[in-house]
Every structure is written in C-alpha cells, then in structure tokens.
Structure 1
Amino acid sequence: MPKLLEWSGWKFFFYSREGMPLEPPHVHVRKDRSEAKIWLTPIVRVASDRRMDPRTLKMLLDVVSTHRDGFVEQWNDFFS
C-alpha cells in the first residue's frame, strides 16, 4: 500500500493490488473512520466515500487536484 502523501492527518495512498483488470488511476484517502476513493483521470472526481461531509470532500478534491500529476506519475511508475 504505497503512501503518496500525508496532509492534515489524511493519508493518500493506493493499494498495490487494485483488481483485475487494473482499475483506472485513483487514490484512496483515509483519516480515522472516514475514507474516500478519488479518480484521477480523466478528471478528478469522487468514486466513493464513507463518513464524509460535502465540505471535507471538497477540501480533499482540492488537495488531490493540486497533486494530481504527481499521483498519476507514481501510479504509472508502480503499475508499469
């Protein structure tokens, strides 16, 4: 489970086994009992979330958007 970023207690990561066939690039974000899955392509958007309010999701989407290119690069490096 490669950790990509830690920000304000939130951990941004992807699982090393993302299913067969491999899912499109995305990150998982977790803090305490809250978690989200966020697609990176073609646009940054929420795939799923658990125990998150809209304001928190918006904040996390902004962080992912800022780091999107680096996350996609790390995804491609890991899975290629």
Structure 2
Amino acid sequence: MILCGVLSCTPPRYFSVVCTRTKKSSLLSKTFSAISASGFRFVCGRQVMPTVLKSGPYRFYFHSHETTEPPHIHVDRDDQTAKFWLTPVSLASSIGFTPRELRLIQLLVIENRLLLEEAWHGYFGA
C-alpha cells in the first residue's frame, strides 16, 4: 500500500493516515514523541518527512529514511533548503539561502537543539 496524505492525531498513541487518492483512512500505532502530528506528511513511495518545528517562514524536518547519518535537521523556506548537523550544530549543505539567513537559521537550530535531538532520537529510537 502506498500512503500519501496527512497524519492526524487520535489520542493517545494512534495516528490516522488519510490517503489523498482513495480518501480511506488507516490507523498507525507508533508513538511519535515531541513531534507535531499535523506535521507528518506521507508522499508516494512511503517516505515520511516529520515536521519537528515551524519558526516564521522556516520548516524544520527530517527524512525518515536517513537512519545511517548522524542526527541532523533539514530546513526549508519556499524553494530554499539547508541541512544542519545537530552535534555540534554546523551547516552541512545549503541551496538558495544567503549567508545572513543561514546564520539566523543556525541560531534557531542552536536555540532548539534539545527539542530537535529529542525528536530525532524519539523517532529513530536511538
């Protein structure tokens, strides 16, 4: 089954997945601690990109298939994207952001590092 749609929370530990193609919903029984249920997006091919934090125009998220890399966070705004390692906080890659904006985003990552790391470890079970 290929899932695509948005997860919505059904307390306490179940998430409802609504497929945008069939309009059918299914329940998932995994607990996603410290991550907003409304931020989970399923795209075709079963890739999940949980949104951990939104700050202003920035969306902070990680890819569910990146289990072999050290903890990191992706940040998007419009068509710009960046990736930051969490320990220590440092820029891994960037497309489209100005140096000034990258410094601002890095400060946001530093300020929210504990939340981001908790979300990472809570999701991947490490």
TM > 0.5 fold call? yes
Tell me the equivalent position of 1:51: 96
Structure 1 residues 1-80: aligned runs within 5 Å: 1-18=49-66, 22-41=68-87, 43-80=88-125
Is the helix fraction higher in 1 or 2? Answer: 1
State the percentage of identical aligned residues: 39
Q: 4+ residue runs of structure 1 moved beyond 3 angstroms? A: none
Unmatched runs of 5 consecutive residues or more in structure 2: 1-48
The one-letter amino acid of 2:99's match is P
* Greater C-alpha Rg: 2
Q: Distance in 2 between matches of 1:54 and 1:18?
A: 26
Unmatched runs of 5 consecutive residues or more in structure 1: none
RMSD: 0.8
| Aligned pairs, number | 77
Q: TM-score, normalised by structure 2?
A: 0.60
Q: Distance in 1 between matches of 2:58 and 2:122?
A: 23
Is the strand fraction higher in 1 or 2? Answer: 2
Kindly indicate whether structure 1 or structure 2 has the higher relative contact order, using CA contacts under 8 Å at least 6 residues apart: 1
